[in-house]
Copies of this chain bind each other. A is one copy, B any other.
Amino acid sequence: MSTDAAPAAPKYYLLKTEVLGLIAGLQPGTLIPTERALAEKYATSRTTVRQAISELVAEGKLGRIQGHGTFVAPPKVTHVRQLTSFSDDARTQGLRPDSRLIALEVLKSDANVAAQLGLDQGEQVTRLERIRLIEGEPLAHEVAWLPGKLPRFKSSLAKAGSLYAVLADVYGVQIADVEDTVETALAGPADVRLLGIEMGAPLLVVHRLARDAAGVPVEWTRSTFRGDRFRFVSRVKSGA
């Protein structure tokens, strides 16, 4: 008589629960049985095992390396996101942040970037592309656009490390407010290459628009974070 009974859990989901029990309490990095071994142990096909394992990987509970094996994943990193930068956030938690510069160039803005920064299409913008690492592990891919051409930007950035520090100390630009947009996406080949994750892994895509006190946009950034390794925190205080 019940209108909607709970859906009977499919076999791959039961197996998922089974594996969760298997890894409970194990140290990160511990290898679990191979897919073929699990298939035999639970009297199922490797396809079904892979579906279960794949979801656990997507959830950040397992990791896997071709030719090596499947292992218990390390816990998520919590990212406190206020007006601070990636590097400041990380250091606050006692983690060692790092950046790998991929590109730093001055070019003409396309329609989208111009709209975000309040420029006319074709006006000069500085494009900064970086990989962000924590404890040596690449966790985010970040492309920032800044209006205009910034003199001695590269050397300043190399010295300070933090983009926001450079803006404040070198150019006297104070960020007054930021607007973050967070959505989910799945990893494609580019993300796989840049972040060393697997196809289809969940991502958190964050777009940030930062303005100065006068409300003039000073930065527009698209950041792609590993969804299996990150957790965002944002604090908002009331009007006063």
Contacts and interface: CB of A to CB of B under 8 A. Distances in A.
A9 B191 CA distance: 12
B179 A233 contact: yes
State the number of copies, please.
2
A165 to B, nearest CB: 16
B189 A237 contact: no
A58 interface: yes
A186 B232 contact: no
Contacts of A76: 183
A55 B179 contact: no
B13 A177 contact: no
Given A55-B186, A58-B200, A59-B185, A180 B233 contact: yes
A230 interface: yes
A135 interface: no
B231 A188 contact: no
A199 interface: yes
A234 B237 contact: no
Nearest to A200: B55
Contacts of A58: 186, 200
Interface in A199-240: 199-200, 202, 204, 213, 227-228, 230-238
A177 B176 CA distance: 18
A182 interface: yes
A189 B182 CA distance: 25
Interface of A: 4, 6-7, 9-10, 13, 55, 58-60, 76, 78, 82-83, 174-186, 188-190, 192-193, 199-200, 202, 204, 213, 227-228, 230-238
Considering the complex of A and B, which 6 residue pairs feature the smallest CB-CB distances, nearest first? A184-B227, A182-B232, A183-B231, A177-B237, A184-B202, A176-B238
Given A183-B230, A184-B184, 14 more contacts: A55-B186, A55-B200, A83-B236, A83-B238, A175-B238, A177-B238, A179-B234, A180-B235, A182-B182, A182-B204, A184-B204, A184-B227, A202-B202, A235-B236
